[in-house]
Structures are given as C-alpha cells and as structure tokens.
Amino acid sequence: MSDLLNRAGRIPDNVSLPELTLRGIILGALITVVFTASNVYLGLKVGLTFSSAIPAAVISMAVLRMFKSANILENNMVQTQASAAGTLSSIIFILPGLVMIGYWQGFPYWQTLAICAAGGMLGVMFTIPLRHAMVVQSDLPYPEGVAAAEILRVGSAEVELDGATGKAGTRTETGIVDIMAGGFTAAAVTLFSSGFRVLGEGINLWFAAGPAVVRLSAGFSLALLGAGYLIGIVAGIAMLIGLLIAWGVAVPVLTSMHSIPDGVTLAKYATGLWSKDVRFIGAGTIGVAAVWTLITLFKPMLEGVKTSFQALRGGKGRINIPRTEQDLAPSWIIGITLALVAILVATFASFLSAAPLSAGMVWGLVAYSVLFAVIFGFLIAAACGYMAGLIGSSASPISGVGIVAVVLVSLLILLVGGGDGLLATESGNKLGIALAIFTTSAVIAVATISNDNLQDLKTGWLVGATPWRQQVALLIGCVVGAVVIPPVLELLYNAYGFAGAMPRAEMDVTHALSAPQATLMTAIATGIFTHQLNWDMILIGLGLGVVLVTIDEVLRRRGGVARLPVLAVGIGIYLPPTVASTLVLGTLLAWAIERILKKRAQKAGLPYEQFAEAPNRRGVLLASGLIVGESLVGVLLAAIIGFTGNDSPLALVGASFENTAQWLGLIVFAAVAWVFSRRVLTARQQ
C-alpha cells in the first residue's frame, strides 16, 4: 500500500481501491455499538462525550490487516462510520428531559430512533455542500481529522512492510494493546467500585467556616481521568476556575446568608443551594459562551450557507470531476433531504398524537417545529462545521448550541400556542415543554453530526478517499447509531434513573445518572413556560460570561497559548464537583507528562513534535481505553441491575465499609494515574 501513497501521503485520483465494502460496513457497525453505548453512558453520567475517530481507526486497522486486500481507504470508511454513530450519541444532552418532566415513561423505540436518524442524516446532507470550501480550500486545522489521517497512514505503511522486515504492524498492534490495556484496567476498577462496592467512587470533605459551607471533593472515575487527559490543560484550568467560583465563592456566600434548617445536614443544605441556584450561574455563562461563539462565526457561517445554496443549484456534470472531488449529486442531496423532512413530519405527528389538541393545532405545531429544526439546523450546520475545523469535534460547544435552540423554540411555541389557550393549563405547559425538548433534540442531532462530518471528510481528503462513498458511510453510521441509542437509554434509565427522574421509588438516588445538559435545558424550558426561571442567577451568569469573554479576547489579542475558554468555566460551575475535579486532575496529568517530554526532547536535541509523537499517541489511546472500559462496564452493570431489580446486586460489603472504601479508591486511582504516566513516558518511536 505504501507504494500507492503519493508524496502528499494520499491515494492519487487515478487509483481506485475498494472503499465501502461489506466487511467494512459490518466491522464499522460492531465498533459503532461499542462506542455509541460508551458515549451514551459517559454523556449521561458526566455530560461529556469523546471522539471515537482515532480509536475506531486503530481497531479497524488491527482487524482488517488480517485480510491481504485491506487498504487505507477501507480503514477510513470504517472509522468514518463509527465516528458518526459515536457522535450522534450527543442527542442524550437533551432527550432524557422528556422522562424528567414525565411526558415519557421510558424511551419509545421508533420515535427515539426516528429523531436520531433523521436529525443526524440531515446533518450529513447540510454539510456536504460545505466540503469544498471548508475542507479543501480552507486552512482550518481540523485537529482530530488530521490526527486520524496520520494514524491511518502509519498503519497502512507498516502493513506494507509485513514479511520484509519482521516489524510489520508494530504501531498498529501497540495501538490496539494500549486501548485494551486502558479498557481492562478501567473495567476492573469500575467493577470493584460500582459493582462490588469495595472501592469508593469519590471522596467528599465538608467544612463550616462560620456560617459559610465549603466542600472539597474528588472523584475516582478513570473514564473522567481519560476524558480530562484528552481535553487539555487550557480547558482544565478554565474548568477549575468554574469549580472555584461555584464552591469557593457562590456556595459559601449563599450559605452564609441563611441559617441551616433544623434536621438538614450540612451536605444536603449546601448541595441543594448549588443545585437550585448556583448551577443557573453556570447556565448563564454557558449561554454567553454559545452566543459569542456564534457571533464570532457569523461571517464564515454566512459564507458556508452561500456555498450550500450555490451547490444545491447544481453545476457542471460529474464526468470530468476527479475521484477525490466527487460528492453526492445535488439531486440525491435534495431527494434525501426531502425524504428526511417527511420522516421528521411523521415523527413529530406521532409525538403529538396523544395530545388533547385539534387536528389543525397538531399539524400547525408540527409545521412550526419541523421548520424550526430544519432551518435553524441548516444555519447552524455551517457554524458547527467551522467550530470542528477550528478546535475539534470534542471541544465544540454543542451543549451551548442546544441551550440557544431550546430558548428560541420555547419562545416560539409560547408565541404560537399561547393565543389558543394551549398553555393555559398545567398539562398544556407540560406539552409545550415536551415539544420544545423534542424539537431541540432534532437540532442537536443535526448540529452534532455537522460538527463531526467535516472532520471525517478532512481525514478522507488527506488520505485520498472518494467523498460520496464517505458520505454514504456517514449516513450508514447515523442509522446504526440511531438503532443502538434507544435501547441503551432505556436500559440505563431503568437501572440507574436520572437526576430528578427515578423509574422506581425504592431506587438509590445517589447512583442516578446526572445527565447535566438534559437537566439544565429541561430546567430552562420549564422556567420559560411556567414563568419561574431563576433569572437572578442566570443574569449573574450572563454578567460573569461577558467578563470572561472580555478576558479571553484580551488574552487572544496578546497572543501566546494563554486562553480562558468561557464554555469550560461554565461547565466547571455546572457539573457536580466530583466530576469537574476529576476532569481537572486528568488535564493536570496530561500537562505534567507534556512538561517531562519537553525536557527530555530538549535534552535529546530533538523537536518536541517528533520526540513526543509516540508518547502522545499512546496517551490518546490509553485514555480512550479508560473511557470505553468504564462505560461498557457501566452498561453491563445496568443490565444486571435491570434484570435483578436490585440496585446493588454485586455488592460484597455493606454501608459500614464506605469510609474504608473511599481511601482504598483513592489509593487505586493514584496508582492507575502513576502507571498511566509511566506507560506514556516509556513509549518510543519505532
């Protein structure tokens, strides 16, 4: 294969290789199931998902290298399909809100599948016309897309050496071993903590400084450690600032203003204030970050929309177009888009079918909702694609886009339905809130796939893939992901429950999945419809967001690496402290390893990028393994809990062991972090 790669490291236009193969589609579907389930669990637990492109590429190469006819373009199709499906799981940032308000008692399979599939596939359609302008001609860095392309090139080059040197596939094998090592480690630790309860899942220390309450917390989740490692120190510092604002300033100030009620523990009182007041400061900050991001992207967004319309008007035929420039034909784009819109119409009609409304009112709300989802989704697709190219898919503020969407659609439904008395009753309010959440779910599906699609197309462009085949793989990935998401959501809900929504009264609320974005967006929609939104705290968050944006802009104009991502600060305020603190620890681990590598590179007289290539790659794969391992065990435990009806079916110890378990958990967590760092630092270039 290496002899087919040109000097740019890509397959030339005049070379045609098998790309979208049956075995590749099947392998992509299997990887999709794993990463989609992992992302759904992680997203519901901590409000974060991870990019599956790089680990999917490594797994694909490790499997397909067993076939002599495998090639780099086939591997690219597998990672494209798996990446799209893993990204689609971000719809859980909003969809659980429907069970939180009691509109759904679970997750109806076909409605959930349809909103995921139709929204995700529209995201593919909307970004196809942007490919040439934003991928081929643009100088956007596309960090994850470039990294995935480099891994594919390295793996393919080493397969070509098989038998000639005896060292074939060294990096490919190392990659899969690293993912498995991280996965098995996290799986074992999670089994002993969440399953056997021998290891604690975190530690909390509470202090009363006069009337003020202060909390110090740390979680022992290896998935969060891995996620923190991937997001980097800049976001970690910003998240730490948010954590300090919430628990070092806001909670102590609020607790000092009132006395603790009789019979209420210190922990319960402070946590209650954080939940009903301080989190809305984070919501306001996140909202400002989202709006500011859209403002800064307004010009490229307009250019992207203009490019889209130009492409949809058609152009010259495909006969003389080079293979690496062949997108899906405009007629196919229009036809598929219209079919997806029809599916959305049918899905929204089904969603509202049980509502006590006249047929005219139902179809009016369906029309408004679908038009909003399609038009706003189309406009936001360019912005999300640009964000992915600029900062990567994992770091893009999709949840911020969701906040903007849920506010706009809630106000629209109030405007449309208020005059007909639809919202005059409590049941009408619930219906309006539910429709706002369902509509926002479609928007997020469009936005998240738009965010990922161009990243994958960048990988394809760099390795010489055929765009239309890759776009078909993206559509397949959306369908497979949509098939997986509903049962995983149903399983996790029935096993753990969500914050504020427990399927059974006897369930342990301390093990409920926090679903932070869904909780936040549901609270915002509910507050708008009931006119009880906590505006004081939101306004404080808005003001804080403006100040932070100003600071970040000053830092940006001064140059250098120092920045203050406002979205990360808002997330630090909003996330539970055991979650945010562990993410920060992961970023600090990555920073410490980077400093050691820089010193070693300087001592060896080598450029840092060259010296640290192998360690950095190993770190990414180990971190991905930690995330996948913990997440899959979480899903497995959910199945056991659901089957037995027992919240702790595997517990080996009782509540009296809790204090000892905390310290054992801390020791194991520290040991894994040390072994992780040693493993990364000992990686060497082959």
Q: What is the pLDDT of residue 304?
A: 52
Q: With helix as H, strand as E and coil as C, how does 348-374 read? A: HHHHCCCCCCCHHHHHHHHHHHHHHHH
Question: Could you tell me if 16 and 36 are in contact, meaning their C-beta atoms sit under 8 angstroms apart?
Answer: no
Q: What is the pLDDT of residue 117?
A: 92
Q: What is the pLDDT of residue 426?
A: 57
**pLDDT tens digit sequence for 392-438:** 565 555 766 777 788 888 888 887 765 555 555 556 678 888 899 99
Q: What is the pLDDT of residue 277?
A: 84
- Distance of CA 562 to CAs 29, 585, 662, Å? 41, 19, 36
Q: What is d(CA 60, CA 106) in angstroms, rounded to the nearest whole number?
A: 34
Buried-state track 396-413, b at ≥16 Cβ within 10 A, e below 16: bbbbbbbbbbbbbbbebb
Q: What is d(CA 194, CA 652) in angstroms, rounded to the nearest whole number?
A: 11
Residue written as token pair 């593919």: 124
Q: What is the pLDDT of residue 157?
A: 59
Within 8 A by CB and 6+ apart from 513, the residues are: 41, 44, 45, 492, 496, 497, 498, 499
Residue 327 DSSP class: P
Q: What is d(CA 621, CA 185) in angstroms, rounded to the nearest whole number?
A: 13
- Distance of CA 487 to CAs 36, 110, 112, 347, 484, Å? 11, 11, 10, 18, 6
Bridge-based pairing of strands 212-219 and 202-209 is antiparallel
Q: What is the pLDDT of residue 235?
A: 83
| Total count of residues recorded for the chain | 686
The pTM of the full predicted model, rounded to 2 decimals, is 0.74
Within 8 A by CB and 6+ apart from 652, the residues are: 196, 197, 198
**pLDDT tens digit sequence for 50-74:** 667 777 777 787 788 788 778 888 8
Instruction: Kindly give the parts of the chain with pLDDT less than 70.
Output: 1-9, 46-51, 85-86, 138-141, 143-144, 154-175, 210-211, 294, 297-320, 382-383, 386-397, 399-400, 417-428, 510, 560-561, 635, 638, 642-643, 645-647, 685-686
